[in-house]
């Protein structure tokens, strides 16, 4: 059985490689993502 899924969410992260930490900066729908400036969050 094959399942198909459409994902309508976006994830923006910042990664600190030296410390091995991933910071979640934004989780939201595609329409919410279109309203933000990812370079400033």
Whole-number pLDDT of residue 1: 58
> Does the predicted TM-score (pTM) go above 0.85?
no
Question: Can you tell me the distance from the alpha carbon of 6 to that of 40, in angstroms, rounded to the nearest whole number?
Answer: 28
Q: How confident is the model at residue 8 (pLDDT cuts 50, 70, 90)?
A: confident
Question: Can you tell me the distance from the alpha carbon of 26 to that of 37, in angstroms, rounded to the nearest whole number?
Answer: 11
The average pLDDT across 1-13 equals 77
pLDDT tens per residue, range 9-31: 899 999 999 999 999 999 999 89
Q: How far is CA 17 from CA 14, 20, 38, in A?
A: 10, 5, 19
Whole-number pLDDT of residue 13: 96
* DSSP-derived 3-state class of residue 28: strand
């Amino acid at each position: 059985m094959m399942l198909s899924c459409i994902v309508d969410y976006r994830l923006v992260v910042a990664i600190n490689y030296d410390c091995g930490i991933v910071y979640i900066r934004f989780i939201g729908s595609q329409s919410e993502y279109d309203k933000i400036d990812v370079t400033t969050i």
